[in-house]
Structure 1
Amino acid sequence: MSPLSLFLQADVVVKVVMIGLLLASVWTWGIIFTHSARLSSARSKARRTIEAFWNAKDIDVFVDAHRSHKDVSARILRAGVDEYHRSVKTGLADRAAARDRIAVASEDAMAGELEKLSDRLNILATIGSVAPFVGLFGTVWGIMRSFTAIAGANNTSLAVVAPGIAEALFATAIGLFAAIPAVIAYNRLTHRLDAFENELTRFSDRFQATLSRQLERR
């Protein structure tokens, strides 16, 4: 009754279900580790850039020095400053429109980076919602096969019934093994991503306010 023996004795359809769920579990943990590392790294880099920016004396000098940086806060700064200079270069007939363009440029840069960070999180949601049903399908199929075999053997003793049902239920267990970490990780990573987005939004708003004050002085 070991997991290996349950797998080896299972019907071929149940074996395919088990293998698929095990691969989904491996895929889930791969996404969890890679996305956790990416999000932690992105958040750390963004915080360092934001802290350095508020301590900088000249915005243009700071942005030029960080043009090669690829973190999301640096991209927000570049997008906003570049749009600011384009607006100033073409004249400030409408300062409100210039502020709107700066806001759009900054928010678009932030949204693009957040989309990259959220890539493949939908896979966790899919695995978390689908894996239990796939495991249940394997269980139902295995139980049907077990009852067919029992009927053919004309023997309903527990020793005959239990192994087949155990093999079938093992598929549901693997489905839950794949689904539970996927659901927990999806909720946790989504929460962290939302918190990071809120941090970036606050920074972007303060940064836009700084550029808006510079527009007023022109």
Structure 2
Amino acid sequence: MKAITLLSSGLDSVAALAIAAESLEIEMAITFDYGQRAGQREMEYSEKVCEHFGIEQRIIKLDWLGEITHTSLVNRDEEVPSLSFEDIDENSPSMITEYSAKAVWVPNRNGVMLNIAGSFAESRGCDYIVVGFNGEEAGTFPDNSRDYIQTVDNAFSYSTQNGVKVLAPLAEMGKTEIVKKALEAEAPLEYSWSCYHGGEIPCGKCESCVRRARAFKNIGIKDPLLERLGI
């Protein structure tokens, strides 16, 4: 069984790739550049991850998606929300996390990316598209949910001749469990970049950074990325 993976270099996409690679042949990783703040860092780290697994990387530019995105993940004039551990509950969204999700929303991003990946998967005879969609973020990002995955699978049953499916190994997991599973699968987390910003080191304050830090704290292990960076 073969697969293509969507790889942003974030914790979730790297963990999903490592888990899927245990049972599938990963044909290629696709990384998208749509003008996101951390785009250069994501492409740099994704390349390292692909080298680790010995797989081809394809970088696809989506300039138009950046042009129509007015929220802070792309628009530098908008402020990325800062959160704390207390603002986040792995099991349920809050007003703060709902606001944060809206502040970094990119119009139909996952829909666009999956349809592009679907074309590559069909052309290469791949059965699956591996994604890092997860249960924790599904509470505020509906395009991470099981319902969304099932809907996309149904659409692919019509739009691809080989019935490509979405494989989301983290779909029922919170970040703490994701970190545990990633470490078990020996994922190269030292080259996973979760921060919404693209600085030399993670900001430690955006929602993505805080969720990641909280998960490592929960299991009592230092983040391999921070260890490599000497933080």
Band the TM-score falls in, shorter-chain normalisation = under 0.3
Higher strand proportion, which one? 2
With the length of structure 1 as denominator, give the TM-score of the two structures: 0.22
Higher helix proportion, which one? 1
The one of the two structures with greater contact order (alpha-carbon pairs below 8 A, sep at least 6) is 1
With the length of structure 2 as denominator, give the TM-score of the two structures: 0.21
Larger Rg: 1
